[in-house]
Chains A and B, each alone.
Chain A
């Protein structure tokens, strides 16, 4: 289960990076919301990975 969660967190980081990469090409209004969305996904992926790591350390 922990491995599945880690894979999902990494997938979220990858998808976030793809969104940021794609949206930077568009005009500023659309690009900005897309970039914030992508960055939020990357941040959430990192938060999830850190939570999993801390849980693994405790056990």
Chain B
């Protein structure tokens, strides 16, 4: 049973729930577009499409699970409940890796965008100023989250609205005045990449779709989650998919407003080549906006600012997400109980916030070392295959997302089989009815398709990212060792799961969520199931 301890307050509205997810995943395209164009060239839209279809599958899985089990922790909790303690820990540990990198990577990129207006914080020329500002931003976000979710939700909501309006304007005007389907077809025909490049592009494209964890974590703090989460989550999935596919198609098929500069060798280049080169791939969205006829004159000034703000709130989502996952893992006996402590006044998980923001700061130091010290730059070049600290973080970001999402698909199938009695206000479409342990269940075909797609992306990541394939599994192995030590100290089963009364817990979850009708429905389902079992026993 869940103790009546201090609870996270339910102050997140429908828009707040949408903006928590949007603020995290919406910024990814600002970083991901240039990277995918650089890797997948004329097939960038296909790379986004492949990753986008898998993203829709995982988005629907999260929607169903978050509406059914509205608790903090997202994917980690679903895997814990569906597959047991050890897999729940691995999924949570992979997500924690992603969120701490999210904090570091997006705060770093935010300062890069700011340097367009404040050259004094430009990373190549003033690395210490850049580093200090990144650290200051992360510390500021930590304080904001300690003060309370209401404040940070309002902050996210405002900037998300601003970004949705702005991106819609850029894309609409780009397609209206500068897009040519014939040029798109020409680019796709003449610049089709090799299979290796396409695999790398797809593995980078999934980075542009990371963020649904936030909305499922916000479920514990959302009002009427079973009703609100499906609506906000579906809108979020479609919005992000539309933006990603639109940017990719526009980049491949747009006639630019200004002539494209020559490449390093003095040869003419296409828009996608210019956006995807190493000088520009970090600011591709700002550059494409500048090339939209008429609007580009204004966009050149405000898009870098917008990019910086959005990247900042994405970093903020990382702070929020990592603390909530740690809170949930602690509640489930996977991490020490200190991560479960809630501040008496602010009712936020202060210890979790401080610890995982600290981990993000260590990652920032790791990423910044080559720019701060030339000797470290030489060391990185020698041992990290010439990839910089930020490349290393990007590799791990893709690895963490693909690993945790793969587990969530399996957990969805498992929960459909072992917990058919929990009311599901939203169900993934296309299900195969069957019987399992005497109960009627539905096998979700979309989850199987998504799992195959996500496993393919994980494989592509391991094949095409030389650092990620070593560092990612090493992170998991390190976590598993810590997990075993913790479980041994607490005299808990190492490989098996702790015994839990999931039925009582589900009743308590629905009560706390204010979903009293669903709670009654669940209790009635349990009673009917027990009666069926008793009747069957009497027959024998």
Contacts and interface: CB of A to CB of B under 8 A. Distances in A.
Given A37-B242, A48-B235, A30 B181 contact: yes
B235 A32 contact: no
Contacts of A43: 238
Contacts of B49: 32-33, 36
Contact of A51 (B231, B238, B248): B231
B246 interface: yes
A48 B239 CA distance: 11
A40 B171 CA distance: 15
Contact of B235 (A22, A37, A51): A51
B184 interface: yes
A27 B187 CA distance: 12
Interface string B2-44: 0000000000000000000000000000000000000000010
A33 B181 contact: no
A interface bracket (residues with beta carbon within 8 Å of B): 10 to 19
Contact of B238 (A22, A26, A47): A47
A34 B249 contact: yes
B393 interface: no
A41 B242 contact: yes
B249 A37 contact: yes
A7 to B, nearest CB: 14
A47 B235 CA distance: 7
B75 interface: no
Contact of A44 (B53, B189, B235): B235
B231 A47 contact: yes
A40 B249 contact: no
B17 to A, nearest CB: 13
A51 B234 CA distance: 11
A48 B234 CA distance: 10
Interface residues of B, number: 23
Contacts, number: 55
Contacts of A51: 231, 235
Contacts of B53: 36
Contacts of A44: 235, 238-239, 242
A29 B185 CA distance: 8
Contacts of A22: 181
B46 A33 contact: yes
B242 A30 contact: no
A23 to B, nearest CB: 7
A47 B246 contact: no
A38 B235 CA distance: 15
B235 A26 contact: no
Interface string A9-34: 00000000000001100110110111
B460 to A, nearest CB: 19
Interface in B433-482: none
B188 interface: yes
Interface string B47-66: 01100110000000000000
A40 B235 CA distance: 10
A40 B242 contact: yes
B245 interface: yes
Nearest to B45: A33
Contacts of A37: 241-242, 245-246, 249
A6 B303 CA distance: 28
Given A37-B246, A41-B242, A26 B181 contact: yes
Interface of B: 43, 45-46, 48-49, 52-53, 181, 184-185, 188-189, 231, 234-235, 238-239, 241-242, 245-246, 248-249
The 9 closest A-B pairs by CB, nearest first: A44-B238, A37-B245, A33-B45, A30-B185, A33-B49, A40-B241, A40-B242, A40-B238, A29-B188
